[in-house]
Amino acid sequence: MASVEQQRQGREWLNQLLSLATLPAAVDADGVAIREDESCWLTISSDALSTKQIQALQGDRGEVLDSIQYLLNTTLNMGKPEGEQQPFTVELDGYRDRRQAELLALAEEAAAKVRETGEEFEMVALSAAERRQVHTFLKDYEDLETSSRGQEPDRRLVVRRK
């Protein structure tokens, strides 16, 4: 579970990045939440941002948001033992929640196809973070297993029967 200090550090790091980018947005204390996967979610307030600024921060298919999240996690967890590392998720304008719902639907569709046909199913290209989410969604399916195949940037998640 994220400590109050880790939450504060994450919020301050992200606020400083937004300030350096001269964006009129911030993460306040109400924009910090711990989710069931124990990730500390930092929500950037979109109230003062234009649609163009929101799109620029999200990037194509969330690539900019993923990069910000990667930098935040790498910077704040660098040199810490694995048990003391805190995963952070950066949210903006509901993007992560919407994308999680889409990934869950994709995972369930893949599971249904594998169960129906018995053949492995290779999912469309996903980011490394999205592949991890799908692996997590499907880990409770006792009759299925997941793996990744290929090399970045064309690495694919594969679902098959055990």
The pLDDT tens digits of the residues spanning 19-47 come to 999 999 999 877 788 776 678 999 999 99
Reply yes or no: is the peptide bond before residue 24 cis, omega within 30 of 0.
no
User: What are the Cα distances from residue 5, in Å, to 11, 38, 68?
Assistant: 10, 15, 20
Contact status, residue 2 vs residue 86, Cβ threshold 8 Å: yes
- CATH superfamily assigned to domain 99-161: R3H-like domain (3.30.1370.50)
Q: Are strands 40-44 and 156-161 parallel, antiparallel or unpaired?
A: unpaired
Q: What is the pTM of this model?
A: 0.80
Domain ranges of the chain: 4-93, 99-161
Q: What is the CATH number of domain 4-93?
A: 3.30.300.20
The pLDDT tens digits of the residues spanning 63-108 come to 999 999 999 999 999 999 988 899 999 999 999 999 999 999 999 9
Q: Is 99-161 the same fold as 4-93?
A: no
